[in-house]
Amino acid sequence: MNHPILETARQQVLEQGIGLTEAQLVDVLRLPDDALPAALELAHQVRLRHCGEDVEVEGIISIKTGGCPEDCHFCSQSGVFDSPVRGVWLDIPELVKAAKETAATGATEFCIVAAVRGPDIKLLNQVRFAIGRIREEVDINIACSLGMLTRQQVDQLASWGVHRYNHNLETARSYFPQVVTTHTYEERLETCAMVKDAGMELCCGALIGMGETLEQRAELAAQLAALEPHEVPLNFLNPRPGTPLGHQDVMDGKDALRAIAAFRLAMPRTVLRYAGGRELTLGDLGTREGLLGGINAVIVGNYLTTLGRPADADLNLLVDLNMPIKELQRTL
Amino acid sequence: MTDRGTQRAAGPYCGLCGKPANGETHDGGGLPPSDTHLKCARLLMLEPPRFCVACGRRQKVQVSPQGWWASCSRHGMTVSG
């Protein structure tokens, strides 16, 4: 390894545990292809030293699909666009069944997601009832992703035992207005701040490959790092029919791997999770490279509206890589 | 009833795009089986069928971590294997 930014990262991130700055991250994202293996190897060492060898496994499910009033240009669940996704509400027995199936894979996290601007009373009641039923029958941590919250809603979720809340930044502040016009970056940050204030773990993710520049990708990583989330799910755009980004090209696999390394070098201690779009962007080989390049968590099985790799494929890969699955720890 | 990928090519309509799977277009044109549906077939490995393969209607679809179901108002429910 002789590229200057990687030598800097070895000293700064690996040895001292200090994430790279936005300007330094641009250098990582601009590394030539022949430096990519060294960047991934360094990111893997950083992950092992600062996070350990465990991999956190999670399942996610949509409790309310489609019909969202927001206009996130990547999202097939927006009611603003002509997407083939129809509105569906999931009933409680199905939700409990999914939680059981998820726990059976060894997953420690089960995230209940709704396509909404923010939860109304009907949704909150449904979520409260679902949490109670899941906790009665399944030994798994419950997370939620229900859009923007009020302070009261944050406190309610925390009191019901939700240990982690997902609310993504998605993209850099400078690119956000190109992707979402129905709410602001600041509104997203407000929910993130309230979640942390209430003592829940913050899961705050990224969606890359939406046409942002490398500089904006670095900006996003730096903005996420500044939030100090417990977890960052890293999504790669899967262009959805009918959405404004439906004709966007799938991002280059090497660029995706550079981003994985960069995000790990920005956030040495954060759970960095493979999320949507990796099958399309990285395939089987790339999935393996990412797990050896800074990733330390996966969403197992399917996503909210699309299918993932079979759970066994990921679990067998973890065995092949000699990476143990993180065991359940009660955090609340 | 069915598993990944197999039921989606079983009917006269494409489960991914909802267009006729026999090569005809919506306007009655006579294009041969197109690359579009070959691409659809590949994409259906990572997608549940949004359209009923029997009639082309848009379906309600629920995806879960280990599977999916799709419901057509006319032809009922299909469940992943």
State the complex-level ipTM: 0.92
Domain ranges for chain B = 7-79
Is there a contact between B50 and A88 if contact means CB atoms under 8 Å apart? no
The pLDDT of residue B20: 86
In B13-72, the residues whose Cβ lies within 8 Å of chain A are 17-18, 45-48, 50-51, 58-68
> In 10 A of CB B23, how many CB atoms?
14
Which chain B residue's Cα is nearest to A109?
B65
User: Is B74 part of the contact surface with chain A (CB cutoff 8 Å)?
Assistant: no
pLDDT of residue B6 exceeding 60: no
Burial track A190-221 (b if 16+ CB lie within 10 A, e otherwise):
bbbebbbebebbbbbbbbbbbbbebbbbbbbb
Cβ atoms of residues A13 and A46 within 8 Å = yes
Whether the pTM exceeds 0.80: the reply is: yes
- Chosen for mutation from B17, B36, B39, B46 (greatest number of chain A CBs closer than 10 Å) is B46
Domain that holds residue A56: 4-320
* Token digits of residue A5: 């930014």
The pLDDT of residue B32: 44
Number of domains comprising chain A: 1
pLDDT of residue B61 exceeding 90: yes
The pLDDT of residue A226: 98
pLDDT of residue B26 exceeding 60: no
The pLDDT of residue A98: 97
* Beta-carbon contacts of residue A4 (< 8 Å; ≥ 6 apart): A27
The pLDDT of residue B1: 35
Segments of chain A with pLDDT less than 50: 330-332
The pLDDT of residue A104: 94
The pLDDT of residue B28: 40
Q: What is the pLDDT of residues B31-47, one digit of tens each?
A: 445 566 778 888 888 99
In a domain, A325, yes or no: no
In a domain, A123, yes or no: yes
Q: How far apart are CA A143 and CA A78, in angstroms?
A: 22
The pLDDT of residue B11: 76
Q: What is the pLDDT of residues A41-78, one digit of tens each?
A: 999 999 999 999 999 999 999 999 999 999 999 999 99
Q: Residue A268 sits in a domain of what CATH number?
A: 3.20.20.70
* Token digits of residue B49: 């069928």
In A260-299, the residues whose Cβ lies within 8 Å of chain B are 279-280
In A34-53, the residues whose Cβ lies within 8 Å of chain B are none
The pLDDT of residue B43: 84
Is there a contact between B59 and A86 if contact means CB atoms under 8 Å apart? yes
Q: Which parts of B6-78 fold into alpha helices (H)?
A: 35-43
> What residues of A are in contact with residue B45 (Cβ under 8 Å)?
307
